[in-house]
Amino acid sequence: MRRTSTLISCALPALAMLWVVGMARAADHTDSPRASADPLADITDVFAWMSPDATRVNLLMGIGRDVAADAQFSDAVQYVFRTRSLPRFSFAGQAASETLVVCTFDADQQVTCNIGGTFIQGDASDPAGLVSDDGRIRVFAGTRNDPFYFNGSGFRETARLVTAAAPSLDFDESGCPALDDATAQALQQQLRTEPDGSAAVDNFAGFNILALTLSIDKTLLTAGGPVVAVSGSTHARPEAAQ
């Protein structure tokens, strides 16, 4: 079992990188049957952002699609943030310093998070979070309203328009089309509305996710420099797979 969500997109090409100030997010809702078969290992979103004073890195992994209010994290799964740090905003051809943030839960929902060899353990269900003795790590784990906004019909109509126009478009090496300003603005407007131009509907309004959220002293993640890339994945715990 492995589920990965990364921050790579034609429309948002730079969101994979988190600088000393900034925010990145990736979303992956309504998955394939294999991923959806285990909703407690299915990543919906990965968010990463800095605190206002740029001293802490905040990470959020959303799990499950419209989970029950009393849903719990699996004790057979590792929830992993993979972070890589570099001195400047370019990962091409550079050896990055990697720090894994690995969180697991026991049957009583006590969480253990290992941040590159620094540990925090306990009950993280209080909204105020579980805080390490030195204050460098704070963890919250529990159900929350899905923060991701998605206008499904507007998105599908936009995809239809792009598909119809594809034969006349020029694509770069990454497969991203070159659009003139008028076309780009029209597509952006369609993403904000229903196909008939009426107000958009948020298809995830009222849905719950399991939210695993960490606030981490950035020095724990920036051994290689101030620029950090983040991805998230879930894995079967080794002891659970035996």
- Secondary structure class of 209 (helix, strand, coil): strand
Q: Is the domain of 73 the same as that of 121?
A: yes
pLDDT in tens, 142-171: 999 887 788 889 999 998 988 888 888 888
b/e map 123-134, b = 16+ CB within 10 Å? ebeeeeebbbee
Asked if the structure places residue 46 within a domain, the reply is yes
Query: By residue range, what is the domain housing residue 79?
Result: 2-148+205-241
Asked if the structure places residue 71 within a domain, the reply is yes
Least confident of 25-39, 87-101, 169-183: 25-39
Q: Is the domain of 75 the same as that of 140?
A: yes
Q: Is the domain of 173 the same as that of 231?
A: no
Site of tokens 């206008």:
151
Per DSSP, the chain holds a count of helices (H) and strands (E) of 4, 13
What does the alpha-carbon distance between residue 16 and residue 231 come to, in Å, rounded to a whole number? 8
Q: Is the domain of 168 the same as that of 232?
A: no
Q: Is the domain of 23 the same as that of 123?
A: yes
User: For the chain, what is the domain count?
Assistant: 2
Task: Identify the H or E element spanning 173.
Answer: none
Q: Is the domain of 172 the same as that of 143?
A: no
Q: Is the domain of 38 the same as that of 64?
A: yes
On the 0-12 / 13-18 / 19+ scale of CB atoms within 10 A, 214 is: buried
Q: Is the domain of 117 the same as that of 56?
A: yes
- In the chain, pLDDT over 70 holds for what percent of residues? 81
Find out whether 101 and 80 touch, Cβ atoms under 8 Å: yes
Q: Is the domain of 89 the same as that of 181?
A: no
Asked if the structure places residue 222 within a domain, the reply is yes
Q: Is the domain of 160 the same as that of 142?
A: no
Closest-CA residue to 69 (of 237, 206, 164, 195): 206
What does the alpha-carbon distance between residue 151 and residue 221 come to, in Å, rounded to a whole number? 34
Asked if the structure places residue 198 within a domain, the reply is no
Asked if the structure places residue 130 within a domain, the reply is yes
pLDDT in tens, 199-238: 988 877 778 899 999 999 999 999 999 889 999 999 998 8
Total-model pTM: 0.74
Asked if the structure places residue 59 within a domain, the reply is yes
Q: Is the domain of 18 the same as that of 119?
A: yes
Q: Is the domain of 133 the same as that of 175?
A: no
Asked if the structure places residue 219 within a domain, the reply is yes
Alpha helix segments (H runs only) across 11-147 = 33-36
pLDDT in tens, 53-91: 999 999 999 998 888 889 999 999 999 999 999 887 765
Asked if the structure places residue 209 within a domain, the reply is yes
Site of tokens 């802490």:
56
